[in-house]
A and B are shown apart, each in its own frame.
Chain A
Amino acid sequence: MIEIFRNPNYNFIGRRRIAYAVSLLAMILGLGSLATRGLRYDIDFTGGALVQVRFEQHPDIAKIRSALGKAGVGEAIIQEFGDPREYIIRLPLSATTSQDVGKKIEQALTAEPSLGKIEIRRVEFVGPQVGKELQLQAVYAVLFGLIGILIYLAARFDLKGGVAAVAAVFHDVVVCLGAMSLFGKEFSLPVLAALLTIIGFSVNDTIVAYDRLRENRTKGGQRGKSFAAQMNDAVNQTLSRTVLTSLTVFFSTAILLFLGGKVLEDFAFVLFVGVITGTYSTIYVAGALVVDWTIYVEGRRRGKKAVARA
């Protein structure tokens, strides 16, 4: 039998204060980057146009720019996309950006003979109304995802567990968005899908730990132990499963990130970061918060009893 951990008994919960500091730091870093550098939104959310072009050979960006300038298509962002011959041209939404912008760009680039033969591989145009709606939809999707999970967990376990699990998920969302902002990744619809998957994944881990805690409590034999110790046991008992699962998902997303192609890159990036923070937050946000909350409630109860006795 190959085992990563043989009867693990790490003191996870005891070191939660260090973890709180780490989490806070990560969140402050993330939020700080979001506040200063901001998040780049894809045209899905801002509206605008995007054209992916393949050139015959590595083109001169200055020439692309001047060709577009001559055609008067407005201020374009030109980026290499996964391959030195492949470029993406983005145009923000403006009065001059219309639905036939793809055609205009094609004409402008064909008119410049030094660029050689070109192939238009992808054209996307998102109008202003659609962009706004998609923005709203994204916010709703995350919000309703969290609410759905909160309700399910509150019903299945208790309110404390539900709130702590959602806090963990919130932590993961902030860290993921922060990482995206730091690494200059772009927030698009597929990234939103990845974010929601991370929410589900992160909650999964939390549920496994909670389930174990509850099972141990109903079995008895936990009497003399503090709640913190009980939680620590549950985390340790499920540790190999948590790590193994995270590793397999981690492998899958790593492969998506490196082999999945440019289109899936940002999507895989979020999953990649999310798997790491999701595993961590199970123990140190969801687990630890429930412990401190319980200690706080018990402390007040004891305090009240003492008052009542006096």
Chain B
Amino acid sequence: MRRNLWLRIGLVAVVVLVSLWYLYPPKQRINLGLDLQGGIHLVLGVDTTKAIANQTERAAEDFKAALERKGIAAKRIAREGDRAFVVELANPASWNDALTVAAQFQTFERRNSDQNAGRFALALSDREVSQQRDLATRGAVEKIRNRIDKFGVAEATITRQGDERILIQLPGVQDPDRAKALIGQTGLLEFKLLDERTPVEEALAGRVPEGSEVLYQRRVDKDSKQEQKVPFVVQKRTLLTGNELTDASVQADPNSPGNWQVSITFSAVGAQRFGEITESNVGRHLAIILDGTVYSAPRINERIPGGRAVITGQFTVDQARDLAIVLREGALPAAVSILEERTVGPTLGADSVRQGMLAIAASSVLVFLFMVFYYRLSGLIADVALVLNVLLLLACMAAFGATLTLPGIAGIALTIGMAVDTNILIFERIREELKVGKTPRGAIEAGFNRAFRTIIDTHVTVLVTAAILYNFGTGPVKGFAVSLFVGLSASLFTAVFFTRLLFDLIYLGRRKVVSVSI
């Protein structure tokens, strides 16, 4: 033991220095959780089922077109469930030709074939479905990350959770509603023609012709601030989507002072299609639809070359700017919904930090005084060890990039209580050994050795619970588990190794030790 003294001093010195290095400067090194610094915690669910249904729907339409190109007549092509569509041929004789078309749809498997009736179904394979789900979630994570980057949030975390969930943490965001709107918007821009042959009243009465649907426009009355919903009968067929645009920018709306609009520019392909669409539909109305809501339906007066269009909709400048970001970054591959939200305002976070720190400080002072009062010099040694314990705990959290949450602060307070327990165990043991007549050095030796096994047992059981908490907990609770886990690991070093070193330094060096201050 005595020979190793310098080695042990060196080890402690290194640990202290490394800890300080990691912790300096503390304000930047310790990540505060959203509950402490304020911000938004969101869990989004990606509607992958809907995405797959949409894909199937599109495939069914493509299949219809492919059959038409080959001159094969179909009685019925309709989606059945999320991942399949049925094909019924007008004439079973064209069976083989239809199958060659079906073979081109490689992601689909043919099922329930009935050659005599000329009927079969095409379904996405299981592998394809899970791949598409994965792709949709991954794509959504990617798009949302881009949107948030453009929005400008420092230190945002966007991670995928499981198959179809996205965890988003935005520290210090001042306007949660705006951030949520930006993140949660699917951003699917579509251009569709109005169905001008069906009167709106007729459609509202439930007589909507096949191939058309009723969509609404939201209008806010300037004076009464009441929101109105204006119905439109729109053809279901999408002529052009936001996929074809290359840029979106914000402009003042010339027709409505104080409002803003978003101007979009199409790609070369998009511009050409837009030109064709406008050319062949002069005199009709073209609806600009975002996520199923009509924004405007202007009349086409002439062919529009150059591929530019404008989205108006009583936008404020922030709304227009956010919409431009969404359109530039592109639509999410599937709609998302908020499953969980926790928003903490900055003032509440600051209050929590103050109260938490006050509680820690108060409990530390109490414990410190108690130890010195009860165990004298040994108590003071334990107190020094406690300071080192908290230092190590914070340094480890800084080093691992762990986040300090409000329950995490509580975890630190608890760690202080439990680290003291380790020293109490040792000190009580030393007292006992002294009582049975051991020499001071012998009693210290025996006290540490005997208590050690118990200390390991107690630490392991609490570490087990902390590990389980970490695995099952979310957000703040995870923070609690982390600080408990790290704190207890550190206490093995400080309360056993470090206090032993101090005891040895004090009592081993001297020739004759008469008593132990304990």
Residues of A with Cβ closer than 8 Å to B?
1-3, 52, 54, 99-100, 102-103, 119-127, 129-130, 134, 137-138, 140-141, 144-145, 148-149, 152-153, 156, 189-190, 192-193, 196-197, 199-201, 203-204, 207-208, 211-212, 215, 237-238, 240-241, 244-245, 247-249, 251-253, 255-256, 259-261, 263-264, 267-268, 271
B484, A259: Cβ atoms closer than 8 Å: no
A-B pairs with beta carbons under 8 Å apart, 10 shown: A99-B337, A120-B345, A130-B43, A138-B472, A141-B468, A144-B468, A190-B406, A199-B465, A245-B425, A249-B417
Residues of chain B lying within 8 A (CB to CB) of residue A123: 176, 341-343
B contact face: mostly helix, strand, loop, or mixed: helix
A124, B343: Cβ atoms closer than 8 Å: yes
> A190-B407, A248-B370 in contact; A255/B425 too (CB < 8 A)?
no
Min CB distance, B425 to chain A, in Å?
6
Assembly CA distance A143 to B432 (angstroms): 38
B25-55 interface mask toward A, CB cutoff 8 Å, 1 = contact, 0 = none? 0000000000100000001010000000000
Assembly CA distance A238 to B428 (angstroms): 8
Min CB distance, B227 to chain A, in Å?
12
Identify the closest chain A residue to B429 (Cβ): A241
Min CB distance, A87 to chain B, in Å?
13
Assembly CA distance A203 to B424 (angstroms): 17
> A141-B472, A245-B420, A248-B420 in contact; A204/B484 too (CB < 8 A)?
no
Residues of B with Cβ closer than 8 Å to A?
35, 43, 45, 176-177, 180, 184, 337-345, 347-348, 351-352, 355-356, 358-359, 362-363, 366-367, 370, 373-374, 406-407, 410, 413-414, 416-418, 420-421, 424-425, 428, 431-432, 450, 453-454, 457-458, 460-462, 464-466, 468-469, 471-477, 480-481, 484, 518
Assembly CA distance A231 to B359 (angstroms): 38
Assembly CA distance A127 to B458 (angstroms): 38
| Chain A-chain B contacts (Cβ-Cβ < 8 Å), number | 213
Residues of chain B lying within 8 A (CB to CB) of residue A2: 373-374
Residues of chain B lying within 8 A (CB to CB) of residue A189: 473-477
Q: Give 3 nearest A-B pairs by CB, closest first.
A: A261-B355, A200-B462, A141-B472
Assembly CA distance A145 to B467 (angstroms): 9
Identify the closest chain A residue to B367 (Cβ): A248
Identify the closest chain B residue to A125 (Cβ): B341
A contact face: mostly helix, strand, loop, or mixed: helix
Assembly CA distance A240 to B341 (angstroms): 47
B338, A127: Cβ atoms closer than 8 Å: yes
Assembly CA distance A123 to B42 (angstroms): 11
> A103-B177, A119-B347 in contact; A251/B477 too (CB < 8 A)?
no
B416, A122: Cβ atoms closer than 8 Å: no
Residues of chain A lying within 8 A (CB to CB) of residue B45: 127, 129
A122, B344: Cβ atoms closer than 8 Å: yes
B461, A204: Cβ atoms closer than 8 Å: yes
Residues of chain A lying within 8 A (CB to CB) of residue B339: 126-127, 129-130
B424, A190: Cβ atoms closer than 8 Å: no
> A99-B341, A122-B343 in contact; A156/B465 too (CB < 8 A)?
no
A207, B454: Cβ atoms closer than 8 Å: yes
Residues of chain A lying within 8 A (CB to CB) of residue B348: 52, 121-122
Identify the closest chain B residue to A123 (Cβ): B343
Min CB distance, B467 to chain A, in Å?
8
Assembly CA distance A146 to B347 (angstroms): 39
Identify the closest chain A residue to B184 (Cβ): A99
Residues of chain B lying within 8 A (CB to CB) of residue A156: 457
